[in-house]
Amino acid sequence: MDNMLSRKVTCKSHGQDSSYFLGWQEYDKNPFHPVRNPSGIIQMGLAENQLCFDLLESWLARNQESNWFKKRGESMFRELALFQDYHGLPEFKKELAEYMSEIRQNKVKFDTNKLVLTAGATSANETLMFCLAEPGEAFLIPTPYYPGFDRDLKWRTGVEIVPIQCSSSNDFKITISAMEEAYKQAQKLHLKVKGVFITNPSNPLGTTLTLQELNHVITFSIEKNIHIVSDEIYSGTVFNSPQFISIFEALNKISFNNNNNQIWNRVHIVSSLSKDLGLPGFRIGAIYSNNETLIAAATKMSSFGLISSQSQFLLSRILSDKIFIKKYIKENRRRLRKRQRVLVSGLEKTGIRCLKSNAGLFCWVDMRHLLTGQTFEAEMDLWKKMVCGFGLNVSPGSSCHCNEPGWFRVCFANMEEETLDLSVQRIRALVDSNLSIVK
């Protein structure tokens, strides 16, 4: 009966069969619990920030749950329950724009008229692809990159991804030559390149892009007359120097002639509250762009994935408490820094090093010396042992399109510290086991 359904139903480009998602399925069958299932699989493949829930819960307790939907003493329930247009609540957009600026050390200002609300960054990224490219056209993306982009950017839009191959030899930094090579590869495949898509801070590397890298991307995009999409959803997770530099801040540092000044209309930011505030279930995402035509179209498209009025209202109240938000940002960074050190130092004691990182909810872990051979088959063998033999779901580098076998993304912020300590113990057991040691 499949011939009675659309081609999209049977399309295999969703990416659900990636090892990134397969690891989740194994975890769901046997999830770790410190009391009920202490031998279960520990979920280290989920980039969630659960370190500061106590701060948000304390705020909610102080501000009385019974008054959530009240404004100036009067109930807002009826207003919030009835129809809202897709432009979003003005009060929430104002607070979100100010928060986005605060995260960027107020070096960039945001105009609410250029902001489109979406149901999470997933919706924002897909909407941008619909707005910027036709099916069969391409975006260049530095590797390694978040496995979900194969779904978010490609599945429904028909847009293609061409990797910009980055290397461990320079800590996976973006170079002009790598971008040029990717552009040539797209031409060989007869794909029209519409833009460069960057994630800053990087998922899975946990690093912020340098000003030089951002300048490379900007210069390249000007020369090729293409767009830049900068996914900045991890901007609030930067816990060490160097500081985060937004693509707009980088643009502000460059002097343009009149012709090149048009790049401002071809640069678009994706933002979210899912990672730094740890609220993925609230589905708070946003697109920011100076391109009026794009903003008008994206606003119309947002009707297919709106944020509930209740979520917008509650989050506007939290974000408007500027004293709380400043304290939250500072404490969140402190806890992330501490937690990252627990993982890095624990792995170092087992002889495993991580790429030096300053942001994110994960580490990019080098396990190349544990492979039986420098192949992706050997990487998958090691990954299967980690998941099935040692109860650790991590993301293999191949799922992130890394072109060097033996790298893994390991998350550290979605669990208790005791669970992270147990994870390190299990990794030590993996290293010590005869099965995993390369003789």
User: What's the rounded Cα separation, in Å, for the pair 288 and 231?
Assistant: 10
Q: Is 328 a catalytic residue?
A: no
Q: Which residue in the list 99, 103, 194, 231 is annotated as catalytic?
A: 231
Cα radius of gyration (the chain): 22
Looking at residue 210, the DSSP 8-state letter turns out to be P
Q: Which residue in the list 93, 154, 194, 275 is annotated as catalytic?
A: 275
CA 178 to chain centre: 22
Looking at residue 85, the DSSP 8-state letter turns out to be -
* φ/ψ bin of 399: left (φ > 0), alpha (ψ from -120 to 50), beta (otherwise): alpha
Q: Is 27 a catalytic residue?
A: no
Q: Is 109 a catalytic residue?
A: no
Q: Which residue in the list 27, 99, 145, 146 is annotated as catalytic?
A: 146
Looking at residue 373, the DSSP 8-state letter turns out to be S
Contact 20, 362 (CB under 8 A): no
Looking at residue 6, the DSSP 8-state letter turns out to be -
Angle at 347 between CA 344 and CA 348, to 5 degrees: 85
According to DSSP H, which parts of 287-350 are helical? Answer: 292-301, 309-320, 322-348
Q: Which residue in the list 233, 247, 284, 427 is annotated as catalytic?
A: 233
Longest dimension (CA), the chain: 72
Contact 383, 370 (CB under 8 A): no
Q: Is 231 a catalytic residue?
A: yes
Which amino acids are annotated catalytic?
A: 146, 231, 233, 275
